[in-house]
Amino acid sequence: MKTIPKLAIFDIDGTIANKGVIPPEVISGIKHLHDIGCITSISTGRGYVRLKEVFGDNFDNLISPQSLIIIEHGTKIVDHDGNIIIADYFKDSEIEHVVDFLRANIGIFKLVWFNPIDVTKKIPVWCADERDVQAETQKRGHYADVFTCSIGELEESILKQKLTNISLKLKDYVKVENLKLSFTRTDTNIIFQDGNMEFIKNNINKGLALAEVLRKLNIDSSELLIAGNAINDVEMLDYEAGYKILVSKGEDRATILSYLSSPESIIKVDSPEELGHFLRSIK
């Protein structure tokens, strides 16, 4: 019989949310975890501002006040209010490598964005084509400052920031999902997920961030529940835990399971709604 978890940590997109909407079954399931004494938190590729956007009025109800939150693919750990606890920032040379890669392959990218260190600020979103600025502003203007400029000017702007990850939006005809690659001449990795190419440092992932959260909260891994669905969740789902839940089906499920060292330990559910029902079954 499994131990009741003391900490449950969830990915967002595709795990507890469908296209940015958290279904009532998940809300009910997380509230049940609170009722049995479990701290609940998040581990996501999103920045803090976009995380809060998904949760809306449910943020304080679904994320425990004492929790530590893993954001930006594990490159930052923040508290409930968004204050940075731990972060691993790019060196200038790594940012220059990202921009050089963008410049050399500009034909396959539509947008570039990054999360500012000040979580109260909007996210800068750069358009490769100035004709996209208006449409992207209408789509993202509530959380982003959309602009365009030369790649050289973009590089100057990025080098003034303290960044832990940079996201490049692939054009629609470029179809790469659930793939992780490492570069050999720079200390960066790339993750292909949700139509994006995400640059992060190569000594960072959600699993390592999770270990730090457990240490700081003084919780044993046997008292942990993890749920994820995509390539950036692999190290987290490979972590020793009381419950490890993969929320996916079909080819996506098979792909993620193939990355895991112990796929037999994984609890498999098809959707966020089914995850919510499972959470309610924990006694």
Q: Are 143 and 122 in contact (CB under 8 A)?
A: yes
Q: Are 9 and 70 in contact (CB under 8 A)?
A: yes
Say if 1 falls within a structural domain.
Answer: no
Looking at residue 120, its pLDDT comes to 77
Domain around 107: 92-201
**Domain identity same for 213 and 273:** yes
Q: How far apart are CA 206 and CA 40, in angstroms?
A: 16
**Domain identity same for 100 and 196:** yes
**Domain identity same for 44 and 137:** no
Q: Last residue of some domain: 157, 180, 201?
A: 201
Looking at residue 170, its pLDDT comes to 97
Q: How far apart are CA 176 and CA 197, in angstroms?
A: 9
The total number of structural domains that make up the chain: 2
pTM, two decimals, is 0.91
**Domain identity same for 102 and 193:** yes
**Domain identity same for 197 and 208:** no
81: number of Cβ within 10 Å:
9
Cα distances (angstroms) measured from residue 247 to each of 64, 141, 223, 237: 22, 30, 20, 11
**Domain identity same for 220 and 140:** no
Identify the bridge partners of residue 168 per DSSP, sorted by sequence position: 112, 197
Q: Are 73 and 205 in contact (CB under 8 A)?
A: yes
Looking at residue 38, its pLDDT comes to 97
Looking at residue 36, its pLDDT comes to 95
Q: How far apart are CA 108 and CA 193, in angstroms?
A: 15
pLDDT profile of the chain (283 residues), mean per 10: 89 93 96 96 93 92 95 94 93 94 96 89 95 96 94 95 94 93 89 94 92 96 96 94 96 94 95 97 92
**Domain identity same for 19 and 113:** no
Q: Last residue of some domain: 167, 201, 235?
A: 201
In this structure, the chain runs to a length of 283
Q: Last residue of some domain: 201, 235, 255?
A: 201
**Domain identity same for 46 and 128:** no
Looking at residue 237, its pLDDT comes to 96
Q: How far apart are CA 255 and CA 266, in angstroms?
A: 14
Question: CATH number, domain at 133?
Answer: 3.30.1240
Say if 101 falls within a structural domain.
Answer: yes
Query: Could you write out the DSSP letters of every residue in 152-186?
Result: HHHHHHHHTS--SEEEEEEPTT----SEEEE-SSS
